[in-house]
Copies of this chain bind each other. A is one copy, B any other.
Amino acid sequence: MKGGNAVTTMHGGDVEGYRRAYGRAPLDFSANVSPLGLPEGVRRAAAQALAAAGEYPDPLCRALSEAIAAHAGAAPAQVLCGAGAADLIYRLAAALRPRRALLTAPAFSEYEAALRAAACAPEFFLLRPEDGFALTERWLDALTPGVELAVLCQPNNPTGRTVPPALLRRALDRCRDCGAVLLMDECFVPLLDEPERCSLLPRLAEYPNLVVLRAFTKTYAMAGLRLGCALCADEGLLGRMRAAGPPWPVSNVAQAAGIAALRETAYVEALRALIARERPRLRAGLERAGMTVLGGEANFLFFRSPDAALGARLRARGVMVRDCADYRGLGPGYYRAAVRTAPENDALLRALNGGIG
């Protein structure tokens, strides 16, 4: 396959790679994106923005930052927009250039990639199968003085486990006491059953060492457009993150789409209702098919299969799930699948049972 390299195997959602290998489009459960498609209001705003594509996009994303701030209960100066959450992870790593950083394993691999690009070899807190891959109080002990950046993901990708609010608060205190920045990746929080309970956004003002990451990718099916944001009360740190990368990170299309997306409350409610309905059904189906479901509280499920070649087998049947064998801290037999619409979930279950997806 032409152009293949580490990137293609490291993330879900490589639909183009699938198309080139199989000559057709897959049913993609490997990326945890809303299955409801781009909201119509967002598509319209994005299409209209094309008329202004001759202008440079606003480098400061002023209107978008104001809309995000109003939505999040923060000040516009506490918002930095980027080309997806990954862009902001790289900017934070480059701005801090920490000597020591603490990640969990398994976790989204771009935390480690961004730190290595910033010449930092991170330390790993291993989430244990015997804890159901949940974050435990042991993490507080691993966060020793000298750690300058800690990263947590709520709920954790790919394990689908949330950190209980009481432990979150202790983590935040521990980071402050150690002088560490806590990057809290909340890209999946809007898709939890109780988003407010699990978010640290209300703590921003109290903890200037807290950086909350949000993405538009998952909630609004905007993965193709590249838009995410970081919220932080330390405006100096946001300024250093801005200076750490190119000055026009967000296209004018993504800025317009983002502003429109924040008005899509009915869409988000419908999506949340769909997930609440379909997740237990998909979970039960996976278990009936012999999988051990280990976690999943947002729009994806994390499971173990006795078949380490399940991913390849499903691909041949037209279905992509995320083979998690390449995650640090995991190995063959671990998989992640998005929760999609009822007919799509049925297709995944059919494919799991040997049929065509």
Contacts and interface: CB of A to CB of B under 8 A. Distances in A.
A166 interface: no
Contacts of A28: 55
Contacts of A76: 2-3
A291 interface: no
A87 interface: yes
Contacts of A113: 243, 247
Interface in A34-70: 34-35, 37-38, 43, 46-47, 49-60, 62-63, 65
Interface in A19-35: 20, 28, 31, 33-35
A129 interface: no
A54 to B, nearest CB: 4
Contact of A246 (B62, B86, B224, B225): B86
Counting every copy of the chain, the complex holds 2
Contacts of A275: none
B60 A3 contact: yes
Interface residues of A, number: 72
Contacts of A242: 5, 7
A54 B239 CA distance: 30
Nearest to A13: B56
Given A3-B76, A49-B224, A55-B31, A247 B11 contact: yes
Contacts of A158: none
B239 A225 contact: no
